[in-house]
């Protein structure tokens, strides 16, 4: 028992040391940690404030049909506008849902790779329950979002979608507009982040990780299962996906 306790403490110290190195190396691009007062901006670990801006979306009213370019506070707002458009035909889209597999820990060496990072927070108010964000990710995986484009304004974070007390943000550090696909990019990255948090929550307790497995997220020694998560491309730190606690509009609480 004593040896196990010493090993636990040693691992905790090593984890904190590793986090310190990571934060020092990427100070300007460490994940955004919390929503600001008024829920109209997010605060970087560096102290930089990034305003929460309206999401802009480009897609087709039906497959092969006219395109639209709309903006709103998240995809649910865009969806309401589309439903009111007389030419929008959701039934014309194939009734398919994007399927993703866990390749976040692929052993193949690649020149570029997506980095997935999650952290268990010490207090429930600082993190979100992975179960809250899963319905929002499922929403992203379905048509018409799978091939639509999501835009984030320069120097800001666009709220892509949310559910309960959690939200997905597309954050753009560039001086110009940033565009990526809503479902096959934002949805896929968000699914991998959720998958890591869910595995951490299911596999590990506040004690030493079960079955000798290492934790999926840092901060495993905290007495909580509330998380934040973040992902970026290792050779392009100008944009990122963040999954964070968020209690502003228009998050749905079912």
Cis previous bond, 156, omega within 30: no
Report the distance separating Cα 47 and Cα 4, nearest Å: 38
pLDDT score of 253: 44
What's the CA gap between 27 and 45, in Å, rounded? Answer: 7
pLDDT tens digits, the chain, 254 residues: what are they? 444 444 344 444 444 334 333 333 333 334 444 554 446 888 766 677 889 899 999 998 988 889 999 999 899 899 999 999 999 988 888 765 545 444 444 333 344 588 999 998 888 778 899 999 999 999 998 888 888 999 999 999 999 999 988 999 999 999 999 999 999 899 999 999 999 999 888 876 555 555 556 678 888 777 788 999 999 888 888 899 999 988 766 565 43
CA distances from 71 to 53, 173, 174 (A): 10, 20, 19
Site of tokens 């460490």: 30
- Residues 49/67, Cβ–Cβ less than 8 Å: no
Q: Taking the domains of the chain in order of start, what are their residue ranges?
A: 2-94+109-245
Write down the pLDDT at residue 112: 55
What confidence score (pLDDT) does residue 30 get?
A: 40
Q: Distance (Å, rounded) from C-alpha 148 to C-alpha 134?
A: 20
- CA-to-CA distance for 18 and 15, rounded, in angstroms? 5
DSSP SS3 for 149: strand
- Contact yes or no for 243/230 (Cβ under 8 A): yes
């Amino acid at each position: 028992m004593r040896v196990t306790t010493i090993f636990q403490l040693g691992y905790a110290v090593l984890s904190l040391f590793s986090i310190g190195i990571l934060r020092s190396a990427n100070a300007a691009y460490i994940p955004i940690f919390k929503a600001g007062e008024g829920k109209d901006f997010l605060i970087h670990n560096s102290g930089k404030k990034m305003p929460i801006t309206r999401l802009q979306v480009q897609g087709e009213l039906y497959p092969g049909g006219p395109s639209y370019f709309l903006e709103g506070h998240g995809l649910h707002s865009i969806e309401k506008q589309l439903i009111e458009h007389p030419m929008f035909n959701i039934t014309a889209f194939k009734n398919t849902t994007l399927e993703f597999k866990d390749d976040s820990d692929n052993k193949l060496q690649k020149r570029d790779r997506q980095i997935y990072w999650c952290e268990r927070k010490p207090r429930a108010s600082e993190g979100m329950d992975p179960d809250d964000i899963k319905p929002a990710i499922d929403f992203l995986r379905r048509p018409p979002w799978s091939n639509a484009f999501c835009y984030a304004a320069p120097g800001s974070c666009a709220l892509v979608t949310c559910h309960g007390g959690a939200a997905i943000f597309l954050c753009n550090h560039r001086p110009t507009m940033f565009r990526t696909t809503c479902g096959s990019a934002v949805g896929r990255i968000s699914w991998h982040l959720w998958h890591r948090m869910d595995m951490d929550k299911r596999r590990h307790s506040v004690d030493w990780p079960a079955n000798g497995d290492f934790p999926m997220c840092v901060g495993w020694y905290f007495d909580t299962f509330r998380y934040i998560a973040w992902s970026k491309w290792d050779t392009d730190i100008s944009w990122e996906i963040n999954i964070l606690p968020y209690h502003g509009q228009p998050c749905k609480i079912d």
